[in-house]
Amino acid sequence: MAHETHASTNPPGLPAELGAPAFVDGWKSRALTVGVVFTVIAAGLAAADHSTEHVLRAWLLGTVLSFGFSVGGLALLMVQYCSGGKWGLLLRRPLEAMSRTLPLVFVYWLVVAFSMKRLYLWAQVDDVAGALKSGFINAAQAHAIEFKRPMLNPTAFVVTSVVCFAIWGFYTWRLNALGLERDADVAGNTPYWIKKLENISGPGIVVYSLTMTAAVIYWVMSLDPTWYSSVYGLLFLVGQGYMVLAFGIIVAISLSKGEPFKTILRQTEQHDLGKFTFAFVMLNIYLAFGQFLIIWSGNLPEEIPWYLDRIRGHWGIIITLDFLFHWLIPFTMLLSRDIKRNKKRLVRVCQWMVFARAFDLFWLIEPNFKDAARNLHFSWGILEYAAVPVAMISFWVAFFCTRLKTRPLVQTNDPHVAEILEPEHVHA
Amino acid sequence: MPPREGTYGLLAEFDTPGDLIRAARQARQDGWRRMDCYTPYPVEEAAEAIGFHRNKVPLLTLVGGLMGLAAMFLLETWISVVAFPLNIGGRPTYSWPAFIIPAYEWTILWAGLSAAFGMMALNGLPELYHPLFNAPNFRNGATTDKFFLCLEALDPKFDLVETKKYLKNFQPLSVVEVEY
């Protein structure tokens, strides 16, 4: 559908002002306040615990979470360029803003890299035979650390991660720069831009899945050097889709209190996004349960301890809650058409999903450590998981708000703009 | 039951869905209740315009799905624990993780069948005869490019002459009387 618009004026029907509304500054200051408060709480907990051990573990969780929002946002940005659709136009600028938070994620990751020796068993143990003799590690761990040394060593960890960051940075820069160039161009060139962004995004999605898999294997899976799962990268990929869509819906609906989202967010696309999120809820439990069923059926001594670490010693409570939080609650809620079409309720469900994702990461990360495996117990330290990631995500949200303010919230040079401005059920 | 005779209703034909919606909204506002819209493709606003109310298909689907889930899970439990206990890899006979997939499949199967047959049961399909097919313009237009509003004779407001005038106000392409 071609429509005649001059490049410098907005298409008819769009509000004159397309920048982020002023209340985004309010979000930013609120996020900063929450961030500071939770930083203080985290410091207090660390003092009560006489240790920063859990601060680091919780920091890793916060890093993986903000990584999911940032690089997951980039991935969904590429997906919508390839798939098209009005929902993509709606979320395009929020997703771009999410992808441009990558520098903050890199800063978060630097802390992980510098405290590698305190987080990762394979980085702690230089002398495997000695550590085995002293009882610091068991035979399985000694074998795994020895065997995987070419991959699991500090140099490889840093090089792989930096290369991944460079690749994500390249795609972020490229897509964001072209997005603005496209708006500056005349409407007649739209087909060229659609093709061009598609051609970058298509291979980009493949590159993203490979680099993201490498990153989560290094950052999370290698916390337990003995265990491996071939579906691990995919699990995180789906998890990122899950949380990015949830966050995108929260942002879109919250922005709709003011222009321009008040005009462009229609119930139809909100409903579509809800359905899309529902698909990720299903895919997520499908993969998580599939991995569990295969390992449970095999019942092999190489694989099953990973699950036993996460089920025995009261961890059964956490995995049950994880199932309820992560799947059953979003699933039953999103099943309802009314909830998907109700702004307030859909936002509540999406907020819950972001929390559930963090809860799932807690279950993935904490039992990797010797003191916590098969032994869920209270310490002041474990409460860091409720403090550090909240602070980190709050700072991330504040940064995201500044990114959101840097460009108009609607891409004007797109055929979907005319469609999204039509009243709903236009044929009616 | 003796065959019904007389007038089924008056059928107004429109060129665009917009005209149909406007007419249907106005008719409902003016107190018409026994009426229906016919379109070649789903027009959600048409349903709203004539006061569409919720039906029981979602509930039937949910109940069907839960029944499928319970049925298969109990069947597997009964087979593995009571009827034919087997030692499989040293696992307990009640190994619920292995029961999940068939139970899940049956949830979907039963939910799908309940939705399909529930829909049929509630909307009266399959229906072999409908008076509207007596209108030649309906036969051609309702599945291609025309939009119809039918005010039915069962409505207490119905009057052959007055209603015809009333429908003409909406400037339809035509208003035809439909016989049973």
pLDDT tier at A7 (50, 70, 90 boundaries)?
Answer: very low
Chain A: closest CA distance from residue B91 (Å): 9
SS3 B10: strand
Chain A residues bordering chain B (beta-carbon distance below 8 Å): 289, 292-293, 296-297, 299, 425, 427-428
> Residue A5 above 50 pLDDT?
no
Render pLDDT for A50-103 as a digit per residue (tens, 0 to 9): 999 999 999 999 999 999 999 999 999 999 999 988 899 999 999 999 999 999
CA A358 – CA A392 distance, rounded (Å): 12
Set of chain A residues whose Cβ sits within 8 Å of the Cβ of B87: none
Set of chain A residues whose Cβ sits within 8 Å of the Cβ of B17: 427-428
CA B12 – CA B24 distance, rounded (Å): 10
SS3 annotation, B50-92: CCCCCCCHHHHHHHHHHHHHHHHHHHHHHHHHHHCCCCCCCCC
> Residue A276 above 90 pLDDT?
yes
Render pLDDT for B77-98 as a digit per residue (tens, 0 to 9): 999 999 999 998 889 999 999 9
Chain A: closest CA distance from residue B101 (Å): 10
> Among B16, B45, B91, whose Cβ lies nearest the Cβ of A425?
B45
Set of chain B residues whose Cβ sits within 8 Å of the Cβ of A289: 100
Render pLDDT for A211-260 as a digit per residue (tens, 0 to 9): 999 999 999 999 999 999 999 999 999 999 999 999 999 999 999 998 88
Chain A: closest CA distance from residue B124 (Å): 24
The neighbour count for residue A95, using CB atoms within 10 Å, is: 26
Set of chain A residues whose Cβ sits within 8 Å of the Cβ of B64: none
SS3 B13: strand
CA A424 – CA A230 distance, rounded (Å): 44
> Residue A204: left if φ>0, alpha if ψ -120 to 50, beta else—which one?
alpha
Nearest residue in B to A299, CA atom: B89
Terminal-to-terminal C-alpha distance of chain B = 14
User: Cβ contact (<8 Å) for A293 and B100?
Assistant: yes
- Complex-level ipTM beyond the 0.90 threshold: no
Helices A86-99 and A384-404: angle between axes, nearest 10 degrees: 110
pLDDT tier at B5 (50, 70, 90 boundaries)?
Answer: confident
SS3 A164: helix
Average pLDDT on A170-197 reads 92
CA B70 – CA B102 distance, rounded (Å): 11
User: Cβ contact (<8 Å) for A428 and B46?
Assistant: yes
User: Cβ contact (<8 Å) for A428 and B17?
Assistant: yes
User: Cβ contact (<8 Å) for A427 and B17?
Assistant: yes
User: Cβ contact (<8 Å) for A428 and B44?
Assistant: yes
